[in-house]
A and B are shown apart, each in its own frame.
Chain A
Amino acid sequence: DIQMTQSPSSLSASVGDRVTITCQASQDISNYLNWYQQKPGKAPKLLIYDASNLETGVPSRFSGSGSGTDFTFTISSLQPEDIATYYCQQYDNPYTFGQGTKLEIK
């Protein structure tokens, strides 16, 4: 099974800050990597697909990069509504998630 190592597990930042989350796959997954946002009591919401493509309707302050085994997710300017837990997910064989990053406002 492909393991996904996501860091940090939690993050506190101020409104307007640039926030970065990393995800490392245990083997090469090309660009089969998505990023999801999950708010309490809600289903995950797709933000970024294929490592760097912004899902329709998602604000442009969200972005992703990487390929192979190392990936990065960035919020360019943190907004209060971005408070959530973020997960990376590989869909190469078949689906594995990172442990999640809980994002809080400082």
Chain B
Amino acid sequence: EVQLVESGGGLVKPGRSLRLSCTASGFTFGDYAMSWFRQAPGKGLEWVGFIRSKAYGGTTEYAASVKGRFTISRDDSKSIAYLQMNSLKTEDTAVYYCTRGGGYDILTEWGQGTLVTVSS
């Protein structure tokens, strides 16, 4: 059974940094791209970015709203995808979800989400 578990959320002040983790199990992690999405309270879903598998160069793509501030990385030996968030803004407050897949993949597997609150 595929499982994705996000962690690392919490309350952080504007301008600070936070790193989220997505721990995967139930599949060969290194074979898949991994994506991050977010959902602000009471709002819709927004793509944040994804990282390709090493077979496709391990390169990343980001939404314009986070490009230059957020970085996605992966540790295939630990089956973990990371979302490093720097220079956080109040508008980054959201539940952050990781998913298996990226690019032209259909996203069938989602984690339960982790809440990030950016507030002074």
- Report B5 CB to chain A, min CB distance, Å: 12
Q: How far is A89 from B50 in the complex, measured between Cα atoms in Å?
A: 16
Q: Map CB proximity to A onto B27-55 as digits: 1 under 8 Å, 0 otherwise.
A: 00000000101000000111100100000
Q: How far is A50 from B102 in the complex, measured between Cα atoms in Å?
A: 15
Chain B residues contacting A95 (CB-CB under 8 Å) are 35, 37, 47, 107
Contacting residues of chain A (24-71) with chain B, CB-CB under 8 angstroms: 32, 34, 36, 38, 42-46, 49-50, 55
**Contact between chains at A34 and B110 (CB < 8 Å):** no
**Contact between chains at B106 and A94 (CB < 8 Å):** no
Interface residues of A (CB under 8 A from B): 1, 32, 34, 36, 38, 42-46, 49-50, 55, 87, 89, 91-92, 94-100
Q: A38-B45, A99-B44 are in contact. List 5 more A-B contacts (CB 8 A).
A: A49-B106, A49-B108, A50-B106, A97-B44, A100-B44
